[in-house]
A and B are shown apart, each in its own frame.
Chain A
């Protein structure tokens, strides 16, 4: 392990998927045969889609690299290629050590097998030798806290136990490079903290961690540097803070593009024409209101509903305000002005975006970032405190304490 060579280097990496057009790709041998017979000379029709393109990357030893980007930016594809689950279309990757992956907790677990059998099976699948599994067996059992159920079939486990055991096996991989995809969000808070600490230890050992997440908090907690992917391209690499700043700004750019209804997903049978917040700024405890203007389509049969998602600056959905649970169904024959009042929970100071979905059976209009608003710094609570009293948690709760 000479310090000069990076743990892994990537040059000109690209992955192109073929997406079937019109006739779609044949899914049965007979269809393929018929298509070939019908037009033997024609090349199959498809459009190409670059999931990743022109990625150059060097990751030094001991680095915990966070990979951030919007949905569909290619984060998971990159990780899948690096872990050799899927093959690249272009480019070259050199891994200077064994690569282990925690892509999804519990894949390869077999419900019929006992916990003990699954530890050995899963360990082997993840690339451990029998000696390595034996050596870390006690540690794995200890970490998962399921020693009493070691000889019980896994299908009888609670989902919490299942996930803890699965993570414990994966976390004790002794590979030099470790790829993790969104798996830290499992288990209760205590187990999450334990997992995060374990991952940090991995990086401290001089091994290398690649971490994909939508949860910005965990990237901050775990990573020493980060890269930002945008539509399959690596557009920024740097410190965690700078990269996250780029990531947050990308939301604003995206919101501007979404204002054009033709660029939005959804069937388009009905489009929201405007989403107007009652105010641009609110106090944390204010009732936040939004008015959704939806156009009319007389030929659309049946009523529709709307759903507004409120996201914080990290892109985490903190509230789904769906009109169905509160009886909000609307007639598409005439234009509608639908008003949403969000009373609780109280929101922390910061910038928020609202995604608006107009739906029937399917999604008619999906408008991400339809509105933004700001919650002013301020406390809804009666006493002034240090920031740390409200720093944890995603929202501010309305609560009281009573002592006896």
Chain B
């Protein structure tokens, strides 16, 4: 029979993977609950999943494409911003739902033991479901506009996993810090909003080409730019991202996820006392 040893927490440490695996049912049930709860007692239910990215892409193409007349790399502006929204929503929603997850499950965290890592992780499930629906809708849009991304589409799962890694890393760290400092709940949406406009979600990198080299360097150094380019490469068949960006995405994803897990683990043992 397995023996569990409980000792005072150390400073840093990775989670016990076997324990996480053993509790995977919790992950699934939390994810299921999130999905069920979101659309229960709504009139049009799952239609919201489709409506949200469509409306956002519509607004962006109206404001940036038609009013501001920004370039979109030769792709219809609506499609261009829709592809950007795909990546952005995956990132934004994962961070946005993971961060408050521990605080909103306060009663649970302070009363029952289970690997707490599963609470923020499970929020990604409902985001992934939305992502899948939006992706299917994107496929329909590609057909309507007659755009063929070609073989590049096969790399989409890779970008998705890498981007999810970054988002979860940030989400985990934010969730564990928010247990003690609720400031995160106010600052994070604001920071995400800023990042949305600082990243070429609704416009192309071409739009900043006329600016000073320093500003352009800033855009180039933003990992979100790399991911957006990679998504557009796979969804719209635009230019492939350079090798250094691909390496950068892998590196950033791994580093941010690891850092997020470490920060989470460091704070985890105090959750019940400070939440």
Contacts A92-B7, A112-B36: A85 and B272 contacting too (C-beta < 8 A)? yes
Contacting A at CB under 8 A, from B105-122, are 107-108, 110-114
List 5 tightest A-B contacts by C-beta distance, closest first: A87-B269, A93-B6, A84-B113, A86-B272, A124-B25
Residues of A within 8 A of B30 (CB): 121
Is B146 interfacial (CB-CB < 8 Å)? no
A84, B6: Cβ atoms closer than 8 Å? yes
Contacts A80-B272, A87-B269, A108-B108: A28 and B29 contacting too (C-beta < 8 A)? no
Is A99 interfacial (CB-CB < 8 Å)? yes
Tally of chain B residues near chain A (CB < 8 A)? 38
Residues of B within 8 A of A81 (CB): 6
B29, A125: Cβ atoms closer than 8 Å? yes
Contacts A85-B110, A90-B8: A120 and B3 contacting too (C-beta < 8 A)? no
Residues of A within 8 A of B114 (CB): 125, 127
Is A289 interfacial (CB-CB < 8 Å)? no
Is B181 interfacial (CB-CB < 8 Å)? yes
Report the Cα distance A150→B127, complex, angstroms.
Answer: 28
Residues of B within 8 A of A107 (CB): 107-108, 111-112
B112, A94: Cβ atoms closer than 8 Å? no
User: Which residue among B32, B40, B41, B112 has the maximum number of chain A CB atoms within 10 Å of its CB?
Assistant: B112
Is A32 interfacial (CB-CB < 8 Å)? yes
A94, B1: Cβ atoms closer than 8 Å? no
Residues of A within 8 A of B69 (CB): none
The one of B8, B36, B41 in contact with A88, judged by C-beta atoms closer than 8 angstroms, is: B8
Is A176 interfacial (CB-CB < 8 Å)? yes
Report the Cα distance A98→B4, complex, angstroms.
Answer: 8
Can you list 11 contacts pairing A with B, beta carbon distance less than 8 Å? A27-B181, A28-B181, A88-B6, A88-B7, A90-B8, A91-B8, A92-B6, A101-B113, A108-B107, A110-B33, A113-B37
A94, B4: Cβ atoms closer than 8 Å? yes
**Please, what's the 1-or-0 string for A23-66, where 1 marks a CB less than 8 Å from any CB in chain B?**
00001111010000000000000000000000000000000000
The one of A91, A112, A125 in contact with B26, judged by C-beta atoms closer than 8 angstroms, is: A125
Report the Cα distance A113→B114, complex, angstroms.
Answer: 20
User: Which residue among B113, B182, B273 has the maximum number of chain A CB atoms within 10 Å of its CB?
Assistant: B113
Report the Cα distance A124→B23, complex, angstroms.
Answer: 7
Q: Is the interface of A mostly helix, strand, loop or mixed?
A: loop
Contacting A at CB under 8 A, from B92-111, are 107-108, 110-111
CB distance from A111 to the nearest CB of B (A): 10
Residues of A within 8 A of B112 (CB): 83, 85, 101, 103, 107-108, 125-126
Q: Nearest A residue to B41 by beta-carbon distance?
A: A112
CB distance from A238 to the nearest CB of B (A): 25
Residues of B within 8 A of A130 (CB): 25
B108, A17: Cβ atoms closer than 8 Å? no
Residues of A within 8 A of B41 (CB): 112
A127, B269: Cβ atoms closer than 8 Å? no
Q: Nearest A residue to B4 by beta-carbon distance?
A: A95
Report the Cα distance A15→B124, complex, angstroms.
Answer: 35
In this complex, the interface size class of chain A, counting residues with CB under 8 Å from chain B, is 35 or more
A28, B183: Cβ atoms closer than 8 Å? yes
Contacting A at CB under 8 A, from B33-53, are 33, 36-37, 40-41
Is A324 interfacial (CB-CB < 8 Å)? no
Q: Nearest B residue to A82 by beta-carbon distance?
A: B6
Is A1 interfacial (CB-CB < 8 Å)? yes
Q: Nearest A residue to B3 by beta-carbon distance?
A: A96
Contacts A28-B181, A29-B181, A32-B181: A1 and B1 contacting too (C-beta < 8 A)? yes
A97, B8: Cβ atoms closer than 8 Å? no
Is A89 interfacial (CB-CB < 8 Å)? yes
Contacts A17-B273, A28-B181, A113-B36: A124 and B3 contacting too (C-beta < 8 A)? no
B9, A87: Cβ atoms closer than 8 Å? yes
Residues of B within 8 A of A103 (CB): 111-112
Residues of A within 8 A of B29 (CB): 120-121, 124-125
With A29-B184, A87-B8 already in contact, 7 other A-B pairs whose C-beta atoms are closer than 8 Å: A88-B7, A91-B8, A99-B113, A107-B107, A108-B108, A120-B29, A124-B23
Contacts A84-B6, A176-B1: A113 and B110 contacting too (C-beta < 8 A)? no
Is B66 interfacial (CB-CB < 8 Å)? no
A112, B270: Cβ atoms closer than 8 Å? no
Residues of A within 8 A of B37 (CB): 110, 112-113
CB distance from A353 to the nearest CB of B (A): 31
**Please, what's the 1-or-0 string for A162-181, where 1 marks a CB less than 8 Å from any CB in chain B?**
00000000000000100000
Residues of B within 8 A of A182 (CB): none
Contacting A at CB under 8 A, from B220-246, are none
Residues of A within 8 A of B36 (CB): 112-113, 117
Report the Cα distance A176→B2, complex, angstroms.
Answer: 11
Residues of B within 8 A of A82 (CB): 6
Is B67 interfacial (CB-CB < 8 Å)? no
Report the Cα distance A32→B183, complex, angstroms.
Answer: 12
Is A129 interfacial (CB-CB < 8 Å)? yes
User: Which residue among A87, A88, A99 has the maximum number of chain B CB atoms within 10 Å of its CB?
Assistant: A87
Report the Cα distance A357→B80, complex, angstroms.
Answer: 71
Report the Cα distance A130→B25, complex, angstroms.
Answer: 7
Is A262 interfacial (CB-CB < 8 Å)? no
Contacts A110-B33, A121-B29: A87 and B270 contacting too (C-beta < 8 A)? yes
Report the Cα distance A367→B29, complex, angstroms.
Answer: 48
